[in-house]
Amino acid sequence: KNFNDLPMPWFGLDIGGTLTKLVYFEPTDHAEYMDTEDEVQRGKTIRHYLVHNKAYGETGIRDEHLQLDNVLINGRTGTLHFIRFPTERMIHFIQLVKSKGFAQMSSTVCATGGGAIKYAYEAEAELGMQLHKADELESLISGIEFIAENFADECYYYDNPLDSENCRKVIWRWSSARCSTTDSQYTNENRAESGLQYPYVVCNIGSGVSVLVVHGHNKFQRVSGSSIGGGFFQGMCSLLCNSNSFEDSIELATKGDNKNVDKLVGDIYGSSYESIGLPYDTVAASLGKISDPSDREHTRPEDLARSALVTVANNIGSIAFNVAKQHGIDRIAFVGNFLRVNPIAARHLAHAMNFWSKGTKKALFLVHEGYFGAVGCLDKLVD
Ligand code: ADP
């Protein structure tokens, strides 16, 4: 496919189980390219609406802090904008695009995620446009590699993740790692030093969880997963704490203490379980302290939300660690919107990887959390 045939602007749409992620590539190099007047005008109209607003309709939000400038995609330079809205608003979104007249303006829309199949008919029939569909896991990996290779500050890890005083975020340079792959002196030692080289594990925590092993460019396998992910967390908080939104659930969890409701190793042993190396503060039984009906009255919603968060994070940590161990891989990249505004989960995952691997495996996090599928399907333009 020749990118010159694909009308500007370009959109990447990842229609997920809970959130739809929209990436808008705004070209900034018209002067160098022979874009038609029509293309430039069309770009201005769409740009005006998308870039002059931070919120769209009732529920659409542009994550301005994630915007990336001077991005090179398929030979064009531009700005990447990141927008999200709940997938349950998909039909409204289609109507909005129609009412603004954006659909008549030719542009290129790449789509991935389950909704790219589910809503394909409505989108294509209502808007009279063809979606360029891409596989969601392929898009996820392409997106991760594209952003991490091009933006040096994308990846980070936690030092002392569960130590409130000494915990710090440290940038992990993938881009320098990239240089070392082309180096003929490349060895396994500097491979360990240099970050997310192949192979690596990706753990995507969206509504559900997918765990993938990536062996090389376009060489990956989904090896595990779980239904206990972001959707389960929000469902539990809705039931247990009457929480109305993910943000409310995170706020509650931040104020809570899971030790008030979870049974710890120390609650059972009176100390740590030394012979098998379990510290006293390891959760032995989630919600294990509130099995008696009389406990219901004094249980705090904050503690329940915290317990739900820690339970989900630890369970995912265990699955991801086992995959990494089974495949002999040391780097595990955690992505997906469950990690949005959720450093508690990230720090628990980081601790779990450190602890169970005795420091040999590292949890890595990426700033653009849930947007990689949407970016990656854009990158499919010329793949
Ligand atoms: P999916 O593609 O399955 O929708 P995402 O990676 O977008 O997956 O993650 C969805 C999860 O992100 C939700 O289950 C929820 O836990 C969390 N989340 C973060 N921010 C929000 C939000 N504003 N609204 C709803 N869920 C959110």
- pLDDT tens figures, 346-368: 999 999 999 999 999 999 999 99
Alpha-carbon dihedral sign for residues 183, 184, 185, 186: positive
Pocket of ligand 1, beta carbon within 6 A: 16-19, 113, 206-207, 230-231, 233-234, 246, 336-338, 340, 370
Coil, helix or strand at residue 334 = strand
Residue with tokens 């780097």: 331
What percentage of the chain has pLDDT greater than the value 90?
A: 70
Q: What is the ipTM of this complex?
A: 1.00
Give the per-residue pLDDT at 184: 35
Tell me which residue has its CA closest to atom 10 in ligand 1: 206
- Residue 191 tokens read as 């491979």
Give the per-residue pLDDT at 175: 57
DSSP string, 41-70: HHHHHHHHHHHS-SEETTTEEE-GGG-EEE
Total residue count of the chain as it appears in this document? 383
The backbone torsions φ and ψ at residue 246, rounded to the nearest 5 degrees and listed phi first, read -60, -40
Give the per-residue pLDDT at 381: 67
Residue 227 gets which letter from DSSP?
A: S
Give the per-residue pLDDT at 74: 84
- For a pocket test of ligand 1, which of 13, 19, 83, 139 has the largest count of ligand atoms closer than 8 A to its C-beta? 19
Catalytic residues: 136
- Residue 93 tokens read as 């979104």
Distance between CA 202 and CA 141 in Å, rounded? 8
Prior bond of 343 cis (ω within 30°) = no
Give the per-residue pLDDT at 32: 67
Over residues 51-84, the pLDDT tens digits come to 999 999 889 999 999 999 999 988 889 999 999 9
DSSP string, 265-282: HHHHHSS-BGGGTB-TTS
Prior bond of 9 cis (ω within 30°) = yes
Residue 188 has pLDDT above 70, yes or no: no
Q: How far, in Å, is the centroid of ligand 1 from the Cα of 131?
A: 23
Tell me which residue has its CA closest to atom 19 in ligand 1: 337
